[in-house]
Chains A and B, each alone.
Chain A
Amino acid sequence: MDRKTEEDQFSQNDAILSSALKQKMAYLNDLSESITKGNDLKVYELIDPNRFATEANGETLTETKPDHYGLASDLNAQLSHHLSDQLIDYLGKTYPFFYYHEYELGKFHIYFGNWWDHRLFGELDPINVRFNFSEEAYGMLAKSFQLELENKRVNDDEMRQLGEENEKLTQLIEDQDKRDQKKEAVRKQLKENEEKSPMPWEAGKVKEAHQQLTDALLELTNIDEQATNARPKIKENENKILALSKEETILNLEKQNIRASFGSFDAFNDSNDHLYAKYIQNLTAESQVKDDE
């Protein structure tokens, strides 16, 4: 290689490098400027230009667009905090039943409703405009919607079972007098049995009767013991039933709210799946209104 070609190659390389750096600087400038101006639409384009083009604007890309987000991704928390401001305003109108708590910079818990003991329902991801619902919380709601079609509730079986158990326990307590009378009778029979001096050929029979009576007495005292422990057990079951009805009350409120805003659970899910596109379109519409002014 002669010296000239070598120099050319070097200068060409420098030109590429310099242009690439300029592109990056332009990217960071753009990002910085969009943030100062509050142009979240542009920020979203800069964060993920490919998703922005395809998902929000419905473009079909022949080649992927350059994505420089890696340059700013260490500022995720701050960016997320910045973007949450407008996003939560928007969600306040479209998902009026969700409440957010920024538990650390840029990270948001979602609460369903502001009623007593509302459920922590997942997290909000402002950078990706996405709900990350807790599997457990969402799963229970989905199940509740599902069971509703069969006229059932999530906790029906368990509540019925606890209710029946409490009825039985109450009965045990109420039957104490009857059992006391029975025990008295059995004891009397036992005494009579023991006072017998049977003929040898009847001894087996008398012994057998004695065993039966002893067993019957034992059985009755066992039930007595259950009855003695019944009250705390009933209270415990009542508390369980209360917790389960609370859960049902909460699920009911969640379902009511979803119906009021979306009509159905399917429509709610569909809206969640297209949240990014809908939000970007909303920002676009808003920026056009601003331009027109």
Chain B
Amino acid sequence: MSNESESTKTMTTGQLLTSYGEAIKAGLDNGYQYVKAFDQLNDTTDQAELLAAAVQLTNYQLNADFVVFPHQFSDEDVQLIFLERILQLANVGNSLQISNPDHVQKLLCKFAALGDQTFTFTKSTKNTTGFFFGPTDYNRPLFYLNLATKELLFHGASLIDYFVVDLQGTDVADLKATLQVLLKVAEILKEHFGFKIDFNVLDGINNEFYKFAAGDVSESIMDELFVKSADNQFILMADQNGGASLNLDHDIQLKVYNMGSADRPQWGASIHDPDQKESFVYLLLDYPFIQEWYLDNKKQLGILSNQLIFG
């Protein structure tokens, strides 16, 4: 009895070294798996392998009790490397590039068309595998990316705040070129990886309904659009059910109407064009008077995004 209890209390030197060795091996093996996944993230040309590597590396527990690695990439870095790689594989690698590869940790990227503006990912506090992508200088979550659940959601209000307000004065062609890269990312994820995408204000599909934050829209807001349109030689027309429509250049039509009921109004806008390319953000960039109208009344007109993710 006493011998047995003795043996559970103390370990022989041999046993100690064995378990130490095993712990180190396990730690090294863990590090090896990590590096293997990183190589895969870096090298593979297979899209499924690329996604698998990124998912594996997100929230990877690299350090163990006996083996600690001082230089590690963050989960945010993994997302950014993934982003850069899918664009490379789609042969548009020039459009976005990681700008500080000499640093390990907290990688930043730049868009070819936006000069020195840097962007990075930030981890969501609500979803462990979710990340927000945005400019480093402003707190604007432009989109939410979750590789594990295969979701990409754009944030309408942030996209407008950043591309229309913060970057005011930048050449519209450069802004559109950058938005085009974001759309390309979404398109790749949708087409090749089967992601669920919420394009929000970047959606150019006709009849996409952009919901206004206030639900109801006061008559004076519509009057303002009417007056501003007329000042710019466009006529806001009365439409069915108290709504309005505005015919713009190139057969583009903006409609503003109530999708809800009289009791529970849900006003919003939709854009119609033959090419199904004009989105709400593009419209604001293309027509300064609509932009002015929107920004003057942002409290009511702010475009809603997924409140569960961004709220």
Contact = CB atoms under 8 A, between A and B. Distances in A.
Contact of A243 (B223, B237, B244): B223
Interface string B226-262: 1100110001111000001000000000000000000
Contacts, number: 39
Interface string B192-235: 00000000000000000000000000011011111100110001
B254 to A, nearest CB: 12
A242 interface: yes
A246 B238 contact: no
Nearest to B245: A116
B237 A246 contact: no
B224 A242 contact: yes
A249 B227 CA distance: 6
B236 A246 contact: no
Contacts of B219: 117
Contacts of B235: 115, 253
A116 B222 contact: yes
Interface residues of A, number: 13
Nearest to A238: B220
B238 A114 contact: yes
Nearest to A252: B230
A82 to B, nearest CB: 28
Contacts of A272: none
A117 B237 CA distance: 8
Nearest to A245: B227
Contact of B230 (A114, A118, A243, A249): A249
Contact of A118 (B220, B227, B238): B238
Contacts of B244: 116
B220 A116 contact: no
A128 interface: no
B230 A117 contact: no
Contacts of B237: 114-116
Given A239-B220, A242-B220, A117 B227 contact: no
Contact of A253 (B220, B225, B230): B230
Nearest to B218: A239
Nearest to B246: A116
Contacts of A249: 226-227, 230-231
A116 B224 contact: no
Contacts of B231: 249
Nearest to B243: A116
B238 A242 contact: no
A125 to B, nearest CB: 24
A281 to B, nearest CB: 33
A114 B244 CA distance: 10
A242 B236 contact: no
A253 B235 CA distance: 9
A121 B34 CA distance: 77
A249 B236 CA distance: 11
Contacts of B225: 116
Given A249-B230, A253-B230, A117 B220 contact: no
B255 to A, nearest CB: 12
B223 A242 contact: yes
23 contacts: A114-B237, A114-B238, A115-B235, A115-B236, A115-B238, A116-B222, A116-B223, A116-B238, A116-B244, A117-B222, A117-B226, A117-B238, A239-B220, A242-B224, A242-B227, A245-B227, A246-B223, A246-B226, A246-B227, A249-B226, A249-B231, A252-B230, A253-B235
Given A116-B225, A245-B227, 10 more contacts: A114-B237, A115-B238, A116-B222, A116-B237, A117-B238, A239-B220, A242-B224, A242-B227, A249-B226, A253-B235
Interface of A: 114-118, 239, 242-243, 245-246, 249, 252-253
